[in-house]
Structure 1
Amino acid sequence: MKQLVVAALQLPTLGMNATRLDFYLKQACERGANVILFGEYVLNHFFKEIESMSINMVKEQSRKHIELLKQLSEKYDIVFIAPIIVTQKDGYHKTIIKITPKSISYYEQQILLPYAHWNEKKFFANPIAPLKDPMIFTINGFRVMVMAGFELHFDPFWEKVTQKKIDIVLLPTASTFGSHNRWREIIKTKAFLHGCFILRANRLGEYSDDEVKWRFYGDTMLVNPEGEVVMMLEDKESMLIEVIDKTEITEHRKSWGFERELKLRKEL
Protein backbone atom coordinates (compact mmCIF):
# COMPACT_ATOMS: atom_id res chain seq x y z
CA MET A 1 0.00 0.00 0.00
CA LYS A 2 1.08 3.59 -0.57
CA GLN A 3 3.21 5.28 2.08
CA LEU A 4 4.38 8.84 2.66
CA VAL A 5 7.20 9.98 4.95
CA VAL A 6 6.32 13.30 6.58
CA ALA A 7 8.46 15.54 8.76
CA ALA A 8 7.82 18.63 10.88
CA LEU A 9 10.48 20.97 12.22
CA GLN A 10 9.88 22.49 15.65
CA LEU A 11 11.99 25.64 15.75
CA PRO A 12 12.02 29.27 16.88
CA THR A 13 12.68 31.99 14.28
CA LEU A 14 15.64 30.92 12.16
CA GLY A 15 18.65 33.08 11.44
CA MET A 16 19.76 33.28 7.82
CA ASN A 17 22.04 30.29 8.24
CA ALA A 18 22.02 27.03 6.34
CA THR A 19 23.97 24.98 8.91
CA ARG A 20 21.10 24.42 11.33
CA LEU A 21 18.67 23.41 8.60
CA ASP A 22 21.20 21.19 6.89
CA PHE A 23 21.69 19.26 10.15
CA TYR A 24 18.00 18.31 10.26
CA LEU A 25 17.68 17.75 6.53
CA LYS A 26 20.46 15.18 6.46
CA GLN A 27 18.53 13.18 9.07
CA ALA A 28 15.25 13.65 7.20
CA CYS A 29 16.85 12.52 3.95
CA GLU A 30 18.35 9.42 5.59
CA ARG A 31 14.86 8.45 6.74
CA GLY A 32 13.33 9.07 3.33
CA ALA A 33 11.23 12.16 4.13
CA ASN A 34 9.10 13.35 1.21
CA VAL A 35 7.74 16.57 2.70
CA ILE A 36 8.83 18.85 5.57
CA LEU A 37 6.52 21.28 7.37
CA PHE A 38 7.63 24.42 9.27
CA GLY A 39 5.63 26.24 11.95
CA GLU A 40 4.45 29.83 11.64
CA TYR A 41 6.95 32.66 12.16
CA VAL A 42 10.00 30.44 11.74
CA LEU A 43 11.28 31.90 8.46
CA ASN A 44 10.25 35.38 9.65
CA HIS A 45 9.99 37.03 13.05
CA PHE A 46 6.70 37.10 14.94
CA PHE A 47 4.48 39.81 13.47
CA LYS A 48 4.64 41.97 16.60
CA GLU A 49 8.44 42.02 16.25
CA ILE A 50 8.13 42.90 12.57
CA GLU A 51 6.34 46.11 13.54
CA SER A 52 9.71 47.53 14.63
CA MET A 53 11.72 46.15 11.68
CA SER A 54 12.36 47.91 8.37
CA ILE A 55 10.48 46.70 5.30
CA ASN A 56 13.77 45.97 3.56
CA MET A 57 14.92 43.77 6.45
CA VAL A 58 11.73 41.70 6.35
CA LYS A 59 11.91 41.49 2.56
CA GLU A 60 15.52 40.30 2.68
CA GLN A 61 14.77 37.76 5.41
CA SER A 62 12.06 36.19 3.25
CA ARG A 63 14.14 36.32 0.07
CA LYS A 64 17.15 34.65 1.69
CA HIS A 65 15.08 31.87 3.22
CA ILE A 66 13.25 31.15 -0.03
CA GLU A 67 16.59 30.99 -1.82
CA LEU A 68 18.02 28.68 0.85
CA LEU A 69 15.02 26.32 0.85
CA LYS A 70 15.06 26.16 -2.94
CA GLN A 71 18.71 25.04 -2.85
CA LEU A 72 18.01 22.49 -0.11
CA SER A 73 14.94 21.17 -1.92
CA GLU A 74 17.05 20.48 -5.00
CA LYS A 75 19.90 19.01 -2.94
CA TYR A 76 17.71 16.60 -0.94
CA ASP A 77 14.83 16.14 -3.43
CA ILE A 78 12.27 17.16 -0.82
CA VAL A 79 9.14 19.34 -0.64
CA PHE A 80 9.00 22.22 1.87
CA ILE A 81 5.80 23.77 3.21
CA ALA A 82 6.54 26.91 5.19
CA PRO A 83 4.68 30.07 6.26
CA ILE A 84 6.43 33.16 4.94
CA ILE A 85 5.75 36.90 4.78
CA VAL A 86 5.60 38.41 1.30
CA THR A 87 6.06 42.16 0.85
CA GLN A 88 3.84 43.83 -1.74
CA LYS A 89 2.97 47.45 -2.58
CA ASP A 90 0.01 47.45 -0.21
CA GLY A 91 1.96 45.95 2.71
CA TYR A 92 2.86 42.57 4.18
CA HIS A 93 0.97 39.45 3.11
CA LYS A 94 0.89 36.35 5.31
CA THR A 95 1.36 33.35 3.03
CA ILE A 96 2.45 29.72 2.97
CA ILE A 97 5.02 28.70 0.40
CA LYS A 98 5.43 25.31 -1.23
CA ILE A 99 8.93 24.69 -2.55
CA THR A 100 9.80 21.65 -4.65
CA PRO A 101 12.99 20.93 -6.63
CA LYS A 102 11.20 22.25 -9.73
CA SER A 103 8.68 24.87 -8.62
CA ILE A 104 7.53 27.44 -6.07
CA SER A 105 3.88 28.20 -5.30
CA TYR A 106 2.07 30.29 -2.68
CA TYR A 107 -1.11 30.07 -0.64
CA GLU A 108 -2.28 33.33 0.89
CA GLN A 109 -3.93 32.85 4.27
CA GLN A 110 -7.61 33.73 3.92
CA ILE A 111 -8.77 34.21 7.53
CA LEU A 112 -6.42 35.90 10.00
CA LEU A 113 -6.67 36.39 13.76
CA PRO A 114 -8.77 39.54 14.43
CA TYR A 115 -8.38 39.96 18.21
CA ALA A 116 -7.25 43.08 20.08
CA HIS A 117 -4.18 41.38 21.57
CA TRP A 118 -3.35 39.46 18.37
CA ASN A 119 -4.58 41.39 15.34
CA GLU A 120 -3.01 39.85 12.25
CA LYS A 121 -6.07 40.89 10.27
CA LYS A 122 -5.18 44.55 10.85
CA PHE A 123 -1.40 44.16 10.49
CA PHE A 124 -1.34 42.20 7.23
CA ALA A 125 -2.74 43.32 3.87
CA ASN A 126 -4.35 39.97 3.03
CA PRO A 127 -7.66 40.72 1.25
CA ILE A 128 -11.02 39.93 2.81
CA ALA A 129 -12.81 38.02 0.06
CA PRO A 130 -15.03 34.98 -0.58
CA LEU A 131 -13.18 31.82 0.41
CA LYS A 132 -11.21 29.91 -2.21
CA ASP A 133 -9.86 26.38 -2.09
CA PRO A 134 -6.79 25.98 0.14
CA MET A 135 -3.52 24.75 -1.36
CA ILE A 136 -3.95 21.13 -2.50
CA PHE A 137 -1.38 18.86 -4.14
CA THR A 138 -0.60 15.18 -4.63
CA ILE A 139 2.61 13.43 -3.61
CA ASN A 140 3.26 9.66 -3.65
CA GLY A 141 -0.43 9.10 -4.32
CA PHE A 142 -1.50 11.09 -1.21
CA ARG A 143 -3.85 14.08 -1.49
CA VAL A 144 -2.41 16.86 0.68
CA MET A 145 -4.08 20.07 1.86
CA VAL A 146 -2.25 23.00 3.45
CA MET A 147 -4.30 24.96 5.97
CA ALA A 148 -3.12 27.97 8.00
CA GLY A 149 -3.38 27.46 11.76
CA PHE A 150 -6.26 29.84 12.46
CA GLU A 151 -8.22 28.46 9.50
CA LEU A 152 -8.58 25.19 11.43
CA HIS A 153 -11.52 26.79 13.26
CA PHE A 154 -13.69 27.30 10.15
CA ASP A 155 -15.89 24.53 8.72
CA PRO A 156 -15.68 25.54 5.01
CA PHE A 157 -12.04 24.44 4.96
CA TRP A 158 -12.97 21.05 6.43
CA GLU A 159 -15.78 20.63 3.93
CA LYS A 160 -13.06 20.86 1.27
CA VAL A 161 -11.13 18.10 3.06
CA THR A 162 -14.12 15.80 2.57
CA GLN A 163 -15.03 16.98 -0.94
CA LYS A 164 -11.46 16.72 -2.26
CA LYS A 165 -10.77 13.39 -0.51
CA ILE A 166 -7.76 14.78 1.35
CA ASP A 167 -5.47 12.20 2.98
CA ILE A 168 -3.36 14.53 5.13
CA VAL A 169 -3.71 18.14 6.29
CA LEU A 170 -0.52 20.11 6.93
CA LEU A 171 -1.16 22.66 9.68
CA PRO A 172 1.52 25.24 10.57
CA THR A 173 0.74 27.11 13.80
CA ALA A 174 2.06 29.66 16.30
CA SER A 175 0.03 28.62 19.35
CA THR A 176 0.67 30.10 22.78
CA PHE A 177 -0.99 31.07 26.10
CA GLY A 178 -1.27 27.50 27.41
CA SER A 179 -3.69 26.43 24.70
CA HIS A 180 -2.15 22.93 24.46
CA ASN A 181 -5.26 20.94 25.32
CA ARG A 182 -7.66 22.89 23.15
CA TRP A 183 -5.47 22.48 20.08
CA ARG A 184 -4.87 18.79 20.76
CA GLU A 185 -8.57 18.04 21.12
CA ILE A 186 -9.63 20.02 18.04
CA ILE A 187 -6.95 18.38 15.89
CA LYS A 188 -7.81 14.88 17.12
CA THR A 189 -11.52 15.46 16.54
CA LYS A 190 -11.04 16.89 13.04
CA ALA A 191 -8.76 14.00 12.03
CA PHE A 192 -11.37 11.47 13.17
CA LEU A 193 -14.40 13.19 11.64
CA HIS A 194 -12.71 13.72 8.27
CA GLY A 195 -10.78 10.45 8.13
CA CYS A 196 -7.38 12.02 7.50
CA PHE A 197 -3.97 12.46 9.06
CA ILE A 198 -3.12 15.91 10.45
CA LEU A 199 0.49 17.05 10.81
CA ARG A 200 0.75 20.14 12.99
CA ALA A 201 4.04 22.07 13.32
CA ASN A 202 4.04 24.63 16.14
CA ARG A 203 6.84 27.11 16.64
CA LEU A 204 9.01 27.69 19.72
CA GLY A 205 10.25 30.93 21.25
CA GLU A 206 9.05 33.84 23.36
CA TYR A 207 7.86 37.38 22.83
CA SER A 208 7.22 39.94 25.57
CA ASP A 209 5.26 43.16 25.34
CA ASP A 210 4.30 45.63 28.07
CA GLU A 211 1.53 43.47 29.44
CA VAL A 212 2.29 39.81 28.86
CA LYS A 213 4.82 37.17 27.81
CA TRP A 214 3.97 35.03 24.80
CA ARG A 215 5.46 31.55 25.06
CA PHE A 216 5.23 29.37 21.97
CA TYR A 217 5.22 25.87 23.39
CA GLY A 218 5.87 23.42 20.56
CA ASP A 219 3.56 20.39 20.83
CA THR A 220 4.21 19.55 17.18
CA MET A 221 2.25 16.37 16.46
CA LEU A 222 0.99 13.82 13.97
CA VAL A 223 -2.57 12.57 14.48
CA ASN A 224 -4.02 9.59 12.58
CA PRO A 225 -7.56 9.15 11.15
CA GLU A 226 -8.69 7.43 14.35
CA GLY A 227 -7.99 10.68 16.20
CA GLU A 228 -4.96 9.21 17.99
CA VAL A 229 -1.67 11.04 18.50
CA VAL A 230 0.97 8.99 16.67
CA MET A 231 3.89 11.16 17.76
CA MET A 232 4.25 14.43 19.66
CA LEU A 233 7.26 16.61 20.35
CA GLU A 234 7.51 18.43 23.67
CA ASP A 235 8.80 21.96 24.13
CA LYS A 236 12.37 21.68 22.80
CA GLU A 237 13.85 22.22 19.36
CA SER A 238 13.40 18.97 17.48
CA MET A 239 12.10 17.22 14.37
CA LEU A 240 9.26 14.75 13.95
CA ILE A 241 9.51 12.14 11.18
CA GLU A 242 6.84 9.49 10.64
CA VAL A 243 5.63 7.13 7.92
CA ILE A 244 1.93 7.32 7.11
CA ASP A 245 0.08 4.51 5.37
CA LYS A 246 -2.84 4.91 2.98
CA THR A 247 -4.41 1.75 4.43
CA GLU A 248 -5.20 3.54 7.70
CA ILE A 249 -7.15 6.17 5.78
CA THR A 250 -9.13 3.78 3.59
CA GLU A 251 -9.96 1.46 6.50
CA HIS A 252 -11.22 4.34 8.65
CA ARG A 253 -13.44 5.69 5.88
CA LYS A 254 -14.76 2.24 5.04
CA SER A 255 -15.57 1.28 8.63
CA TRP A 256 -17.21 4.56 9.69
CA GLY A 257 -18.81 5.42 6.34
CA PHE A 258 -19.36 9.13 6.99
CA GLU A 259 -18.82 10.05 3.32
CA ARG A 260 -21.04 7.15 2.22
CA GLU A 261 -23.99 8.57 4.16
CA LEU A 262 -23.44 12.03 2.66
CA LYS A 263 -23.31 10.62 -0.87
CA LEU A 264 -26.66 8.86 -0.35
CA ARG A 265 -28.14 12.29 0.38
CA LYS A 266 -26.41 14.00 -2.59
CA GLU A 267 -24.26 16.06 -0.21
CA LEU A 268 -21.01 14.93 -1.83
Structure 2
Amino acid sequence: MKDVNIQDFSGSVAILQLGDLQNKERVTTYIKSIPKHSIVLIGEYVVDSFFSQDWGMKPESCLKDKHKLDIFMHFSKKYGHTFIVPFIQHKNKGYYKQMAIITQDGFATYTQQRLIQYPHWNEANFFSNDTKKLPKLPMTFMANGIKFGILFGFEAHFDEFWMEFKKDSVDVVLVASASTFTSQKRWQNLLTTHAFTNSCYVFRANRIGTHHASDGQTWDFYGHSFVSLGQDIIDSLLNEEGMLCVEIDKAALEALKKEWGFRS
Protein backbone atom coordinates (compact mmCIF):
# COMPACT_ATOMS: atom_id res chain seq x y z
CA MET A 1 0.00 0.00 0.00
CA LYS A 2 1.78 3.14 -1.22
CA ASP A 3 -0.82 5.92 -1.28
CA VAL A 4 -2.93 6.25 1.86
CA ASN A 5 -6.32 7.94 1.56
CA ILE A 6 -8.67 7.40 4.50
CA GLN A 7 -12.30 7.95 3.49
CA ASP A 8 -14.13 7.04 6.71
CA PHE A 9 -12.11 9.19 9.15
CA SER A 10 -14.13 10.13 12.26
CA GLY A 11 -12.32 13.46 12.61
CA SER A 12 -10.65 12.42 15.89
CA VAL A 13 -6.94 11.89 16.51
CA ALA A 14 -5.77 10.05 19.64
CA ILE A 15 -2.40 9.81 21.36
CA LEU A 16 -1.49 6.73 23.39
CA GLN A 17 1.21 7.60 25.93
CA LEU A 18 2.89 4.31 26.81
CA GLY A 19 6.24 2.83 27.76
CA ASP A 20 5.65 -0.59 26.22
CA LEU A 21 2.87 -2.95 25.13
CA GLN A 22 3.22 -5.54 27.89
CA ASN A 23 -0.22 -4.89 29.40
CA LYS A 24 -2.36 -5.87 26.41
CA GLU A 25 -5.57 -5.59 28.43
CA ARG A 26 -4.99 -1.93 29.27
CA VAL A 27 -3.97 -1.13 25.70
CA THR A 28 -7.18 -2.76 24.49
CA THR A 29 -9.21 -0.67 26.95
CA TYR A 30 -7.68 2.52 25.59
CA ILE A 31 -8.29 1.50 21.98
CA LYS A 32 -11.94 0.60 22.64
CA SER A 33 -12.59 4.02 24.22
CA ILE A 34 -11.49 5.91 21.09
CA PRO A 35 -14.24 6.79 18.55
CA LYS A 36 -14.22 4.26 15.72
CA HIS A 37 -12.34 5.20 12.55
CA SER A 38 -9.92 7.51 14.37
CA ILE A 39 -6.21 8.07 13.84
CA VAL A 40 -4.04 6.82 16.72
CA LEU A 41 -0.44 7.94 17.29
CA ILE A 42 2.08 5.88 19.31
CA GLY A 43 5.41 7.20 20.68
CA GLU A 44 8.90 6.01 19.75
CA TYR A 45 10.37 2.84 21.27
CA VAL A 46 7.05 1.53 22.55
CA VAL A 47 6.73 -1.44 20.18
CA ASP A 48 10.48 -2.12 20.55
CA SER A 49 12.61 -1.69 23.65
CA PHE A 50 14.52 1.57 23.92
CA PHE A 51 17.72 1.94 21.92
CA SER A 52 20.89 0.62 23.55
CA GLN A 53 24.49 1.36 22.65
CA ASP A 54 25.10 -2.35 23.30
CA TRP A 55 23.09 -3.29 20.20
CA GLY A 56 26.19 -2.60 18.14
CA MET A 57 27.78 -5.70 19.67
CA LYS A 58 24.69 -7.86 20.17
CA PRO A 59 21.27 -6.67 18.95
CA GLU A 60 18.30 -7.99 20.92
CA SER A 61 16.59 -10.92 19.20
CA CYS A 62 13.16 -9.28 19.58
CA LEU A 63 14.21 -6.61 17.06
CA LYS A 64 13.76 -9.28 14.36
CA ASP A 65 10.18 -10.08 15.42
CA LYS A 66 8.06 -10.04 12.25
CA HIS A 67 4.78 -10.02 14.17
CA LYS A 68 5.31 -6.96 16.38
CA LEU A 69 2.70 -4.93 14.48
CA ASP A 70 0.04 -7.65 14.44
CA ILE A 71 -1.78 -6.21 17.45
CA PHE A 72 -2.33 -2.92 15.62
CA MET A 73 -3.46 -4.68 12.45
CA HIS A 74 -6.02 -6.53 14.57
CA PHE A 75 -7.27 -3.33 16.20
CA SER A 76 -7.44 -1.57 12.84
CA LYS A 77 -9.66 -4.25 11.33
CA LYS A 78 -11.84 -4.46 14.45
CA TYR A 79 -12.34 -0.75 15.17
CA GLY A 80 -11.49 0.90 11.86
CA HIS A 81 -8.62 2.90 13.35
CA THR A 82 -5.52 4.06 11.48
CA PHE A 83 -2.38 3.59 13.58
CA ILE A 84 0.86 5.55 13.28
CA VAL A 85 3.48 3.33 14.90
CA PRO A 86 7.29 3.70 15.04
CA PHE A 87 9.08 0.35 14.88
CA ILE A 88 12.40 -1.27 14.00
CA GLN A 89 12.53 -3.47 10.91
CA HIS A 90 15.23 -6.05 10.22
CA LYS A 91 15.89 -6.60 6.53
CA ASN A 92 18.88 -7.34 4.30
CA LYS A 93 21.04 -7.94 7.40
CA GLY A 94 20.41 -4.38 8.62
CA TYR A 95 18.11 -2.63 11.08
CA TYR A 96 15.94 0.31 10.03
CA LYS A 97 14.00 2.86 12.06
CA GLN A 98 10.63 3.21 10.42
CA MET A 99 7.10 4.38 11.05
CA ALA A 100 4.11 2.33 9.93
CA ILE A 101 0.77 3.71 8.82
CA ILE A 102 -1.60 0.81 9.50
CA THR A 103 -5.12 0.85 8.06
CA GLN A 104 -7.83 -1.73 7.52
CA ASP A 105 -6.47 -2.26 4.02
CA GLY A 106 -2.79 -2.79 4.88
CA PHE A 107 0.17 -0.66 5.82
CA ALA A 108 2.78 1.69 4.42
CA THR A 109 6.14 2.61 5.95
CA TYR A 110 8.24 5.74 6.27
CA THR A 111 11.98 5.44 6.90
CA GLN A 112 13.55 8.03 9.19
CA GLN A 113 15.85 10.38 7.24
CA ARG A 114 17.84 11.94 10.09
CA LEU A 115 19.18 9.97 13.08
CA ILE A 116 20.51 11.16 16.41
CA GLN A 117 24.29 10.69 16.71
CA TYR A 118 25.59 11.84 20.07
CA PRO A 119 28.20 9.92 22.10
CA HIS A 120 25.64 8.77 24.69
CA TRP A 121 22.90 8.07 22.12
CA ASN A 122 24.19 7.17 18.66
CA GLU A 123 21.45 5.71 16.48
CA ALA A 124 23.24 6.68 13.27
CA ASN A 125 26.07 4.29 14.13
CA PHE A 126 23.71 1.32 14.42
CA PHE A 127 20.80 1.72 12.04
CA SER A 128 21.12 1.28 8.29
CA ASN A 129 18.86 4.22 7.36
CA ASP A 130 20.24 6.34 4.52
CA THR A 131 20.88 9.74 6.12
CA LYS A 132 23.21 11.19 3.47
CA LYS A 133 20.60 12.42 1.01
CA LEU A 134 18.93 15.82 1.23
CA PRO A 135 15.76 15.74 3.36
CA LYS A 136 12.61 15.14 1.34
CA LEU A 137 8.93 15.35 2.20
CA PRO A 138 8.09 12.70 4.82
CA MET A 139 5.11 10.47 4.20
CA THR A 140 1.75 12.22 4.02
CA PHE A 141 -1.81 10.97 3.67
CA MET A 142 -5.33 12.33 3.27
CA ALA A 143 -8.27 11.71 5.60
CA ASN A 144 -11.59 13.29 4.63
CA GLY A 145 -9.95 16.30 3.04
CA ILE A 146 -7.37 16.85 5.82
CA LYS A 147 -3.71 16.32 4.94
CA PHE A 148 -1.54 14.60 7.56
CA GLY A 149 2.23 14.28 7.73
CA ILE A 150 4.34 12.05 10.00
CA LEU A 151 7.70 12.84 11.58
CA PHE A 152 10.14 11.29 14.03
CA GLY A 153 11.05 13.38 17.05
CA PHE A 154 14.68 14.03 16.11
CA GLU A 155 13.64 15.08 12.61
CA ALA A 156 11.53 17.87 14.12
CA HIS A 157 14.77 19.83 14.70
CA PHE A 158 15.35 20.20 10.94
CA ASP A 159 13.58 23.14 9.30
CA GLU A 160 13.76 21.43 5.91
CA PHE A 161 11.02 18.99 6.90
CA TRP A 162 8.70 21.76 8.08
CA MET A 163 9.30 23.67 4.85
CA GLU A 164 8.31 20.57 2.89
CA PHE A 165 5.17 20.19 4.99
CA LYS A 166 4.23 23.81 4.35
CA LYS A 167 4.82 23.51 0.59
CA ASP A 168 2.64 20.40 0.55
CA SER A 169 -0.14 22.11 2.54
CA VAL A 170 -0.02 19.67 5.46
CA ASP A 171 -2.72 20.44 8.05
CA VAL A 172 -1.71 18.04 10.84
CA VAL A 173 1.81 16.86 11.73
CA LEU A 174 2.04 13.70 13.84
CA VAL A 175 5.32 13.58 15.80
CA ALA A 176 6.45 10.42 17.60
CA SER A 177 9.24 10.92 20.15
CA ALA A 178 11.19 9.37 23.02
CA SER A 179 12.41 12.49 24.83
CA THR A 180 14.22 12.42 28.14
CA PHE A 181 16.37 14.45 30.56
CA THR A 182 15.26 18.10 31.04
CA SER A 183 14.08 18.74 27.51
CA GLN A 184 10.35 19.16 28.13
CA LYS A 185 10.19 22.96 27.78
CA ARG A 186 12.47 22.98 24.74
CA TRP A 187 10.31 20.43 22.96
CA GLN A 188 7.17 22.37 23.74
CA ASN A 189 8.69 25.58 22.39
CA LEU A 190 10.05 23.85 19.29
CA LEU A 191 6.82 22.18 18.25
CA THR A 192 4.40 24.97 19.10
CA THR A 193 6.58 27.41 17.14
CA HIS A 194 6.45 25.18 14.07
CA ALA A 195 2.70 24.67 14.55
CA PHE A 196 2.38 28.46 14.52
CA THR A 197 4.61 29.22 11.53
CA ASN A 198 3.11 26.31 9.55
CA SER A 199 -0.44 27.20 10.66
CA CYS A 200 -1.17 23.58 11.51
CA TYR A 201 -1.94 21.10 14.24
CA VAL A 202 0.93 19.21 15.87
CA PHE A 203 0.23 16.01 17.80
CA ARG A 204 3.27 14.89 19.79
CA ALA A 205 3.28 11.41 21.38
CA ASN A 206 6.17 11.00 23.80
CA ARG A 207 7.27 7.80 25.49
CA ILE A 208 7.18 7.21 29.25
CA GLY A 209 9.19 4.83 31.45
CA THR A 210 12.86 4.42 32.32
CA HIS A 211 16.00 3.13 30.65
CA HIS A 212 19.06 1.90 32.55
CA ALA A 213 22.08 2.89 30.45
CA SER A 214 25.31 0.89 30.33
CA ASP A 215 27.10 3.64 32.29
CA GLY A 216 24.79 3.08 35.26
CA GLN A 217 22.60 6.13 34.73
CA THR A 218 18.83 5.94 34.61
CA TRP A 219 17.03 7.85 31.89
CA ASP A 220 13.48 8.99 32.62
CA PHE A 221 11.07 9.48 29.73
CA TYR A 222 8.66 12.11 30.93
CA GLY A 223 5.66 11.81 28.62
CA HIS A 224 3.81 15.15 28.54
CA SER A 225 2.39 14.38 25.11
CA PHE A 226 0.31 17.24 23.75
CA VAL A 227 -1.76 18.68 20.93
CA SER A 228 -1.05 22.16 19.61
CA LEU A 229 -3.01 24.28 17.16
CA GLY A 230 -0.62 27.07 16.31
CA GLN A 231 0.98 28.24 19.56
CA ASP A 232 -1.95 27.10 21.69
CA ILE A 233 -1.74 23.75 23.48
CA ILE A 234 -5.31 22.51 23.46
CA ASP A 235 -4.81 19.21 25.31
CA SER A 236 -1.95 17.41 27.06
CA LEU A 237 -0.99 14.54 29.33
CA LEU A 238 1.29 14.43 32.36
CA ASN A 239 4.11 11.97 33.05
CA GLU A 240 2.05 8.80 33.45
CA GLU A 241 0.44 6.31 31.10
CA GLY A 242 -2.65 7.70 29.45
CA MET A 243 -4.61 8.59 26.36
CA LEU A 244 -6.01 11.79 24.89
CA CYS A 245 -8.31 12.27 21.94
CA VAL A 246 -8.95 15.52 20.04
CA GLU A 247 -11.35 16.21 17.20
CA ILE A 248 -9.84 18.22 14.35
CA ASP A 249 -11.56 21.63 14.13
CA LYS A 250 -11.46 22.52 10.44
CA ALA A 251 -12.94 25.97 11.05
CA ALA A 252 -10.29 26.84 13.65
CA LEU A 253 -7.57 25.58 11.31
CA GLU A 254 -8.84 27.74 8.45
CA ALA A 255 -9.12 30.74 10.77
CA LEU A 256 -5.48 30.31 11.85
CA LYS A 257 -4.32 30.15 8.23
CA LYS A 258 -6.34 33.24 7.31
CA GLU A 259 -5.31 35.28 10.37
CA TRP A 260 -1.55 35.01 9.86
CA GLY A 261 -1.22 34.33 6.15
CA PHE A 262 1.74 31.99 6.55
CA ARG A 263 0.05 29.43 4.29
CA SER A 264 -1.69 30.10 1.01
TM-score w.r.t. structure 2 length?
0.91
**Which of residues 192, 198, 201 in structure 2 aligns to 1:194?**
198
Q: Which residue of 2 aligns with 1:37?
A: 41
Cα offset, 1:211, TM superposition: 4.5
Q: State, as a whole percentage, how many aligned pairs show the same letter.
A: 36
**Which of residues 11, 19, 38 in structure 1 aligns to 2:18?**
11
Q: Which residue of 2 aligns with 1:92?
A: 95
- 1:248 pairs with 2:252: yes
Cα offset, 1:140, TM superposition: 2.0
Cα offset, 1:66, TM superposition: 1.2
Q: Which residue of 2 aligns with 1:118?
A: 121
- 1:165 pairs with 2:161: no
- 1:217 pairs with 2:217: no
| Alpha-carbon separation, structure 2, partners of 1:231 and 1:49 | 34
Say which SS state the counterpart of residue 178 (structure 1) adopts: coil
**Which of residues 136, 148, 152 in structure 1 aligns to 2:152?**
148
Cα offset, 1:241, TM superposition: 0.6
Residues 9-49 of structure 1 deviation map (CA, whole Å, 9 limit, x = unaligned) = 0000223x642321111101xx3461000000000000117
Cα offset, 1:132, TM superposition: 2.5
For residue 262 of structure 2, what is the amino acid of its counterpart? Answer: F
| Alpha-carbon separation, structure 1, partners of 2:26 and 2:59 | 25
Q: What count of residue pairs does the alignment treat as equivalent?
A: 253
CA-atom RMSD in angstroms:
1.8
Gaps of 5+ in 2: 1-8
**Which of residues 5, 18, 29 in structure 2 aligns to 1:23?**
29
Contact 1:4–1:142, Cα closer than 8 Å, also in 2: no
Q: Which residue of 2 aligns with 1:265?
A: none
- Residue pairs, 1:55-74, within 5 angstroms: 56-60=61-65, 63-74=66-77
Question: In 2 relative to 1, CA 22–158 (structure 1 residues): closer, same or farther, beyond 3 Å?
Answer: same
Contact 1:3–1:245, Cα closer than 8 Å, also in 2: no
Cα offset, 1:68, TM superposition: 1.4
Cα offset, 1:252, TM superposition: 1.0
Cα offset, 1:178, TM superposition: 1.3
**Which of residues 227, 231, 234 in structure 1 aligns to 2:235?**
231
TM-score w.r.t. structure 1 length?
0.89
| Larger fraction in helix | 1
Q: Which residue of 1 aligns with 2:138?
A: 134
For residue 12 of structure 1, what is the amino acid of its counterpart? Answer: G
Cα offset, 1:103, TM superposition: 1.6
Question: In 2 relative to 1, CA 84–4 (structure 1 residues): closer, same or farther, beyond 3 Å?
Answer: same
Contact 1:221–1:233, Cα closer than 8 Å, also in 2: yes
- 1:183 pairs with 2:190: no
- 1:257 pairs with 2:257: no
| Alpha-carbon separation, structure 2, partners of 1:49 and 1:37 | 26
